[in-house]
Chains A and B, each alone.
Chain A
Amino acid sequence: MDLHSITKVSFSQVVALARAVDEHGGQADVARIAEDVEMELDGIGPIVAAAEFLGVVTVEDGDLRLTDFGRKLIKASVKERKAMLREFMKDLPVFRYVIQLIETSARPASRQDVIDALAVHFGSHSAEDLFRALVYWGRASELIAYDSRSELLTLRTPGVPMPPAH
């Protein structure tokens, strides 16, 4: 499993899924949850996959079970959630690789630099998708900052606001 399973899912959807499972006592059938949140199965599928990938739920025979991590996530504040996400993300190979790339490069890493590097390492056909996921989760976890105007990536110290870039 890699970052690809979470390319089309947002963090708040994962949290909301965890909360929906929690409302059923921490364990529920995927179909029940889908009905509960008024979503089609193919709409909720990627969210479930992402939640599993992030270790928020376990999936077995179509049954979702909330993990301890998931339970903590629901109770946490927005800031604490980000911290938890950060802990998880920073050990993923893709993140390690890109963070190192940004740290060692002499000038700010551009979108194209990172996509080229990703293509070499993780295959070229999906490098753009991977980049998009990297940017989204990098921003969500506040590990990586990406300025969409200049298309430059930088590392971000969590909690410290970025200097205004105007």
Chain B
Amino acid sequence: MAAPFLEVKHVSKSYFEAGKEFKVLETVGFELAERDFVCIVGPSGCGKSTLLRIIVGLDTPTAGSVRFEGKPLVPENPQVAMVFQSFALFPWLTVEQNVELGLEARHDPPERRHAQARKFIDAVGLAGFENAFPRELSGGMKQRVGIARALAVEPLLLCMDEPFSSLDALTAQSLRDEILQLWSTPDLPPKAVLMVTHSIEEAVYMADRVIVLSNRPGRVVAELEIDLPRPRNRKEPEFFGWVDEIYSLIV
């Protein structure tokens, strides 16, 4: 059998402060296959963001391992890209320069960088804003830049850390739809998406599979296959059924 696309195995994470141990994650494990859109939900402080940071290589686990395409994960893995809750755009770079960041790090020649950046700026609907600074953009547009920057490096795995929680509800909803639209476009790069959120509705709306973490220390409580047809309607009773079930798992 081929190795799973992403394999998170018995990952634990503790912080030590003044000789005391604070457990954040305890033996978390799950797998991601190609074409998976997975959401991790859990109450705030359950370590879900820490888990994501470990997966992208920003943090190291106290125990356990993360394997990507069967190989142990190297930090600064170019095949994993990330979208940040706070956007994390460089304020002194234009939209285009921000999107080119990962390509520059790969030493792509300027022409290729421009072409690639334009393609993804276009894909997230920001054509026309190439030469704008982030401060000129609304929150929703900033996050589009963040998404374009992540997609531009053509990652195999796209990780998103609460990508919509800094946005107003209206903007967040239209961005969710656009991400799903992008995801359904087969020629766009990522083979799998892993998203962390505290909103159960958001997870049910977007994911093929939801991984539910418990309160601190975070453990996997359940893995649920959301089999609702797309596009999903948040007003339907089946939708509420899923939301209620996850609620009861967490509380």
Q: Which residues of A contact B (CB under 8 A)?
A: 10, 12-13, 15-17, 19-20, 23, 37-39, 43-44, 47, 78, 81-82, 135-136, 138-142, 145-149, 156, 161-162, 164-166
Q: In the bound complex, do residue A156 and residue B128 qualify as a contact, i.e. CB atoms below 8 Å apart?
A: yes
Assembled-state Cα–Cα distance A51/B170 (Å): 13
8 closest pairs, A vs B, by CB?
Answer: A16-B174, A139-B128, A38-B169, A147-B131, A78-B125, A142-B128, A10-B138, A16-B170
Query: Contact string, B106-138, partner A, CB cutoff 8 A, digits 1/0?
Result: 000010001000100000010111111100101
CB distance from A147 to the nearest CB of B (A): 4
Can you list 18 A-B pairs with a CB-CB distance of less than 8 A? A12-B141, A12-B171, A15-B174, A16-B173, A16-B174, A17-B170, A19-B173, A38-B169, A39-B168, A82-B125, A82-B127, A136-B136, A139-B129, A142-B127, A161-B127, A162-B131, A164-B96, A164-B110
Query: Contact string, B200-234, partner A, CB cutoff 8 A, digits 1/0?
Result: 00000000000000000000000000000000000
CB distance from B146 to the nearest CB of A (A): 15
Find the A residue at minimum CB distance from B174: A16
Interface size range on B against A: 20 to 34
Assembled-state Cα–Cα distance A162/B114 (Å): 10
Q: In the bound complex, do residue A162 and residue B130 qualify as a contact, i.e. CB atoms below 8 Å apart?
A: yes
Known: A16-B170, A146-B131, A164-B114. 6 other contacts (CB 8 A): A12-B138, A12-B140, A19-B173, A20-B170, A141-B128, A142-B127
Find the B residue at minimum CB distance from A78: B125
Assembled-state Cα–Cα distance A15/B141 (Å): 13
Assembled-state Cα–Cα distance A135/B132 (Å): 10
Residue among B110, B169, B175, B235 having the largest count of chain A Cβ atoms under 10 Å: B169
CB distance from A10 to the nearest CB of B (A): 4
Do A149 and B170 form a contact, CB below 8 Å, given A10-B140, A164-B110, A166-B110?
Answer: no
Residues 141 to 180 of chain B near chain A (Cβ within 8 Å): 141, 168-171, 173-175, 177-178
CB distance from B51 to the nearest CB of A (A): 27
Q: In the bound complex, do residue A146 and residue B132 qualify as a contact, i.e. CB atoms below 8 Å apart?
A: yes
Assembled-state Cα–Cα distance A96/B141 (Å): 26
Query: Contact string, B168-197, partner A, CB cutoff 8 A, digits 1/0?
Result: 111101110110000000000000000000
Q: In the bound complex, do residue A12 and residue B128 qualify as a contact, i.e. CB atoms below 8 Å apart?
A: no
CB distance from A124 to the nearest CB of B (A): 22
Assembled-state Cα–Cα distance A15/B176 (Å): 13
Q: In the bound complex, do residue A165 and residue B168 qualify as a contact, i.e. CB atoms below 8 Å apart?
A: no
Assembled-state Cα–Cα distance A142/B171 (Å): 21
Do A12 and B174 form a contact, CB below 8 Å, given A161-B118, A166-B110?
Answer: yes
* Residue B65, interface by CB 8 Å: no
Q: In the bound complex, do residue B141 and residue A149 qualify as a contact, i.e. CB atoms below 8 Å apart?
A: no
Assembled-state Cα–Cα distance A149/B95 (Å): 11
* Residue B94, interface by CB 8 Å: yes
CB distance from B226 to the nearest CB of A (A): 21
Assembled-state Cα–Cα distance A44/B169 (Å): 11
Q: In the bound complex, do residue A47 and residue B131 qualify as a contact, i.e. CB atoms below 8 Å apart?
A: no
Assembled-state Cα–Cα distance A51/B168 (Å): 17
Assembled-state Cα–Cα distance A15/B125 (Å): 13
